[in-house]
Structure 1
Amino acid sequence: MPQGSTGTTKRRYPKRLAPAERREQLLDAALRIVADAGFGDVSIASVAERGGVSRPVVYDSFGSSAELLDALIRRETARMGEAVERATAGLDDPSAEPAAALRAGLESFLIDVRAMPDTWRLVYFPIDGVPPALRDRVAAARDELRAPLRRVLGAWLDGHPADADRVDLEVLVRIVQGLIQTGARLILNEPQRFDIPRVVSLLDYLLAENS
């Protein structure tokens, strides 16, 4: 035994954080649990263990596991909304070339997906016990995304009169939305094989090379 040792192990206490920082830390821990095992495994005890704190520390921030899950859903859907806003910011610019604007938006979106994989797995991969509130918010976000897609793809068709007579705008919107969703899944599932330029190049082909 080293000199001066008392033979006892000093208990390690969690680092003191400001309340807002502690909440974020615990929500990060809950998100990792969801990504690994599903929503059903989120509890005060599991979050305390994953976060390296005691249960009372978790209770100081969240009164119950239901409150914690609600805060997690609110935070993650807000992050998703901010990513979509960034991606669609240039789609309403009348001076922008539609295909270039859509390409830039897709690239921006996929960069956010790659930066926050656990957040976007809530949307693009099956997870056990998805709360109805999250399912409803994701469905609403998908519906809302169609509006800017409809505008920019409509503008693209206006610039290609020969195609406008043959292409159903609503079908095109759904196909491009499906491309975005598939691209996000590829980036999340096989990031080494499917990088962002590889996914974006398909949109270049659809909207530029065939124009």
Structure 2
Amino acid sequence: MAGLPVEPAPPRRRYAKRLLPAERREQLLDTALRIVASRGFAEVTMAAVAEHGGVTRPVVYDSFGNRDELLAALIERETAAMRAAVARALRGERESGAAPREVLIDALRRFLDDVGTMPDTWRLVYFPIDGVPPLLRDHIRKARNEFRDPLRRLLGEWLADLPPGADADAVDPDVLVEIVQGCLQTLARRVLDDPREFGVRRILAAIELVLGESD
């Protein structure tokens, strides 16, 4: 009938892009990681991941049976990325002719650079773990210590390379690695919290001064 107003068509419902199961899992894990980084583990729920990921809850449950399974997959993925970063930090050990001091500084530089390029991953490891299921807390605590053994070895080589007058034999390696690891974790948090104020170059300048002059 002429003259009657035409009502606008209702807006089409937005549907999540169809992805392969493996791609969907990665997308949901990325979403969960962003929630952890911005709000903490306690805020990661199946409903929150669905909402922030732009999908329905059944889509999330198709990929992960429950919240614990989702968090377990997330922690496994991110700690694997962190172990790869530690391996990258140690590449300098294989460079022939490098003095222990230079190898140590290079490893610390690579490590802190990776912290800056993968901030959400390192926040998952270094920031409070309230809300993490008890069975998963040990995985995060172990991840925090992933750099401990290589760091102890690098520090031991640096001590052994010091001149006789430095009295390096009086230094307890276990105490030294505790001090350095604690400082390194604090510095990593500073890089994450305020990268403009605590840039890697500024941190390394202080580390180089503490380690003394190279020969």
Q: TM-score, normalised by structure 1?
A: 0.87
8 Å contact 2:100–2:161 — kept in the other structure?
no
Cα deviation for residue 139 of structure 1 reads 3.0
1:2-13 matched pairs, under 5 angstroms: 6-13=8-15
Residue of 138, 141, 151 corresponding to 2:140: 138
Matches for 1:11-90 after TM superposition, within 5 Å: 11-90=13-92
Match of 1:107 in 2: 109
Q: 1:80 to 1:139 in 2, by over 3 A?
A: same
Alpha carbons of 1:56 and 1:96: their partners in 2 closer, same or farther (altered >3 Å)? same
**Residue ranges of structure 1 left out of the alignment (5+ in a row):** none
Q: CA deviation at 1:210?
A: 8.4
Deviation at 1:37, TM superposition (A): 2.5
Number of residue equivalences: 209
Matched, 1:162 2:165: yes
- The one-character-per-residue Cα deviations of 1:61-120 (angstroms, maximum 9, x if unpaired) are 112222111111111111111111211233466742111111111111111111121211
Kindly provide the CA deviation profile for residues 105-149 of structure 1, in whole angstroms up to 9, marking residues without a partner as x.
111111111112121112222242133344312333454533222
Identical pairs, percent: 57
TM-score normalized with structure 2 length: 0.86
Select the residue among 161, 169, 181 that pairs with 1:177. 181
CA contact (8 A) 1:37 1:128 kept: no
Matching residue within 184, 189, 192 for 1:188? 192
Q: Which amino acid aligns with 1:136?
A: D
Task: State the structure with more CA Rg.
Answer: 2
- The answer to which of 102-111 and 32-41 deviates more is 32-41
Distance in 2, Cα, partners of 1:205 & 1:175: 16
In 1, Cα distance between equivalents of 2:132 and 2:72: 12
Matched-pair contact (CA < 8 Å) for 1:98–1:156: yes
Question: For the structure 1 residues 59 and 85, does the alpha-carbon distance in structure 2 shift closer, same or farther, using more than 3 Å as the test?
Answer: same
Structure 1 residue 29, shift from structure 2 partner:
0.9
Note if contact 2:101-2:158 (Cα within 8 Å) is conserved in structure 1: yes
Identify the range of structure 1 (45-54 vs 33-42) with the bigger mean alpha-carbon deviation.
33-42
1:144-194: CA deviation from partner (whole Å, max 9, x where unpaired) = 533222222222122212221343322222222122112101101111111
CA drift of 1:34 comes to 1.8
> What is the SS of the residue equivalent to 2:101?
helix
- The answer to whether the 8 Å contact 2:83/2:146 transfers is no
- Once the two structures are overlaid, the 10-residue window that deviates more, 195-204 or 166-175, is 166-175
Q: Out of 118-127 and 74-83, give the one that drifted further.
A: 118-127
Q: Deviations over 1:13-66 (max 9, x none)?
A: 111222221111101111122223322222221110010111121122112222
What is the alpha-carbon root mean square deviation over aligned residues?
Answer: 2.3
CA distance in 2, matches of 1:36, 1:7: 38
Measured in 1, the distance between the counterparts of 2:124 and 2:73 equals 15
Q: Distance in 2 between matches of 1:174 and 1:103?
A: 17
Q: Report SS of the residue matched to 2:98.
A: coil
